[in-house]
Structure 1
Amino acid sequence: MRAYETLFVLKPDLEKETIEELIGKVKAVIETAGTVGKVDEWGKRKLAYDIDKKYQEGYYVLVEFNAENSVLDALDHLYKITESFIRNIIINKEK
């Protein structure tokens, strides 16, 4: 297993329960073939630029985890099919 971190930005108008549910989905995907380390909710922050001419801010969440490569594809799929994620990145920490 390798060490990764993912940073994702959620729509700023989501309810707290919805945010917790989405974080839970990300953690569940990771736990299929890995372990979740630290989950750091940064909260609402201003975006560097408008996204879709609609969002000037977003709710940022950073998750550190160890996982197999298959988890990366599953996470990417989750980000693409769930419209509440407006931006995301997955980084390999072992460099």
Structure 2
Amino acid sequence: MAENGRHEYELVYILHPDMDEEGILALNERLGQIVQEQQGEVTTTELWGRRTLAYPIQKHFEGHYVLHRFLLPPEATGEIDRFLRLNENVLRHLMLRLDK
């Protein structure tokens, strides 16, 4: 276990290709707020930019990639997953626990 019962997670998600920079930053800020509300801490955020997808997702061939690393209690991952699943701008997401 990491510090204070929190684990280290890595989250990569792909956003709708038509999103502008302001929308991407707003979504990232909201995700950061959710992590903090769940007693977590964002350690790294990397905007990888618009990239071509390996295969079409919902008829899109490109998407904006974003990487987050954070410390979070294990029971709080469900809230992050729920937020991403319900957001129509998120095409795909994958969250991995790093400190196993």
> Once superposed, which parts of structure 1, at least 4 consecutive aligned residues long, lie more than 4 Å away?
none
Per-residue Cα deviation, 1:29-49 (whole angstroms, up to 9, x for no partner): 111121000101100011000
CA distance in 2, matches of 1:67, 1:75: 10
CA distance in 1, matches of 2:30, 2:17: 18
Letter in 2 for 1:39: T
Letter in 1 for 2:19: L
Match of 1:39 among 23, 32, 45: 45
Structure 2: which 5+ residue stretches go unaligned? Answer: 1-5
Letter in 2 for 1:58: G
TM-score of the superposition, structure 2-length normalised?
0.90
Letter in 1 for 2:87: T
TM-score of the superposition, structure 1-length normalised?
0.94
Structure 1: which 5+ residue stretches go unaligned? Answer: none
For 1:1-95, what aligned pairs fall within 5 Å after superposition?
Answer: 1-32=6-37, 33-52=39-58, 54-95=59-100
CA distance in 2, matches of 1:70, 1:9: 24
